[in-house]
Amino acid sequence: MLLRICASVVVALGLIVAQPAKADWYEASSKHFVIYADDREKDVRRFAENLERFHSALKLVTGRPYEEPSSSNRVTIYVVGSSRDIKRLVGDKRSSVAGFYIPRAGGSLAFVQDIKFKNGYPHFSTTVLLHEYAHHFLTSTSRYALPQWMNEGAAEFVAAASFERDGGMYIGRAAQHRAGDFAYAEDVPVEQLFDYELYLQNRSNRFDTFYARSWLLFHYLFFSEERTGQMTSYQLAVANGAEPVAAAREAFGDFDQLQRELDRYLKNRVPTFVLSPDMTTVGEITIRELSNGEAEAMPLIIQSKRGVNEEQAAELVVEVREVAEGFPQDAAVLAALAEAEYDSGNLDAAIAAADRALAIDPTQKNALIQKGYALFAKADDADDQDAAFEVALEPFTKLNALENDHPLPLIYYYRSFINRGEAPPENARLAMEHASALAPFDHSLAMNVAIMQANEGKIAIASRTLAPVASAPHGGRRADFAKQFRAALANAEEGKPFRFSSIRTETVEVEDASE
């Protein structure tokens, strides 16, 4: 999923032209993030520290408990250097995308332009990252879906953050990046914030203030003494099944009065939530300078992780092979080669490259993953599928031993039955549910789990699994499908297997983290 700060973008991809690598590529590893940047070490460290402070601030502001992610469920951030590089990744030179985030089980990614802070304020692409990470955090801490305006308002509220050098933070500052919306965009009345379907019916082709007004409403309700507790009451009512507009009227009263209050609030200097350095935590941050081979391959790795089509894969693999020839003992480079070969459909070459990487470093997780992908693809066409899938599971079994809560071994254990046309046993179905619990931000995985649950007759559970997908912050086809699926489940009989007629195949597919 490719996201602007305010809308989904669906575009073709363009290859990044590999540039000679500098000697200062670093990896910063912390509890919730992995960062790759071609910058000064102290800037990379500060960026990692500020992101960890931001995560800590989210826990403090929301009051939500957060189950720490396994190593591979952290968000990996690639700092690509410029708007031009972002546009190349997007595949649209005219794109206004400043940065974007892709949620994937075992491999969530984000791409930003710059990690510098000016007077405490991050680069706008980092503001985009903070907005999207807020969605990531909210999805990870609750299975109850927020109303659309509240989801976006909360993300905008925390994304307008600044960071002091002493470790202090300001959360909930005026969203200066929305100033143009208030000045030039078509206004969205408060009633349409609460009634999202009504908003969609009245939405015009020109840009509007939905995001800006969502921020304003959230900000006002968060700080208003006169309306203390109203937003919580509204959220609880919606979570308990109340109709959103009715819940809003019950919690907030007359919409016209609320509209007038918001208009006055916008004209005043808004308050800010100030966090002293001792109110947030950072934790351990490990900085590693990349090897020469990994640094040279990094622009190609970034494109590969972003995703390629068939034509791009054929071009990219040639460049990765050239780098690998120069660094034949670099396990990370060989794992990148295995990924490029797999993306190009060269399955035997992918397995060979992965084996070379694992001979050097048996803990190279990407090599295990790419080998597993390639073996699964070969097993689909094998004469003896039982034996082939048993072999294909071996890399994922080793991955599970390295990281017990990595979701991909769980997913591929389930797929080993589905791909053979066999009904997965109960432990395989439980594995899929656990994978989704480990990565609730992966809506593609949640969708597949809901289909599985409906097929088992777990109607109520399937509907709950679909709820966050149906109310995904940026909408899209998957969200529309989830809404239709939930509507169909409302008439299904609990305990009786249900197959939604819009599902064109009984075979459940799960997105590879590399796609």
DSSP class of residue 483 equals: H
Nearest residue to 398 via CA among 366, 430, 424, 420: 366
Question: What pLDDT is stored for residue 489 in this prediction?
Answer: 94
Locate 243 and state its tokens: 């109709």
The answer to whether the beta carbons of residues 452 and 486 sit under 8 Å apart is no
How does DSSP assign 284-308, residue by residue? --EEEEPPHHHHHHHHHHHHHHH--
Locate 89 and state its tokens: 């990744």
Tens digits of pLDDT across the chain (515 residues): 223 233 333 333 343 344 444 448 999 999 999 999 999 999 999 999 999 999 999 999 988 888 889 999 999 999 998 888 888 888 777 777 888 999 999 989 999 999 989 989 999 999 999 999 999 999 888 777 788 999 999 999 999 999 999 999 999 999 988 999 999 999 999 999 999 889 988 887 778 999 999 999 999 999 999 999 999 999 999 888 899 999 999 999 999 999 999 999 999 888 999 999 999 999 999 999 999 999 999 999 999 999 999 999 999 999 999 999 999 999 999 999 999 999 999 999 999 999 999 999 999 999 999 999 999 999 999 999 999 999 999 999 999 999 999 999 999 999 999 999 999 999 999 999 999 999 999 999 999 999 999 999 999 999 999 988 888 777 788 888 998 999 999 999 999 999 876 554 333 333 333 33
Q: What is the amino acid identity at position 157?
A: F
Question: What pLDDT is stored for residue 19 in this prediction?
Answer: 45
Residue 115 backbone phi and psi in degrees, to 5: -110, 5
By CB atoms closer than 10 A (0-12, 13-18, 19+), residue 143 is middle
The answer to whether the beta carbons of residues 190 and 153 sit under 8 Å apart is no
Question: What pLDDT is stored for residue 502 in this prediction?
Answer: 57
Question: What pLDDT is stored for residue 514 in this prediction?
Answer: 33
Name beta bridge partners: 234: none
How does DSSP assign 305-367, residue by residue? HH---HHHHHHHHHHHHHHHHH-TT-HHHHHHHHHHHHHTT-HHHHHHHHHHHHHH-TT-HHH
Q: What is the amino acid identity at position 224?
A: S
- Using DSSP's 3-state secondary structure scheme, residue 107 falls into coil
- Using DSSP's 3-state secondary structure scheme, residue 295 falls into helix
CA distance 379 to 413: 13
CA distance 463 to 242: 16
Helix or strand (DSSP H, E) at 76: strand 75-79
Locate 405 and state its tokens: 């809560």
Question: What pLDDT is stored for residue 16 in this prediction?
Answer: 39
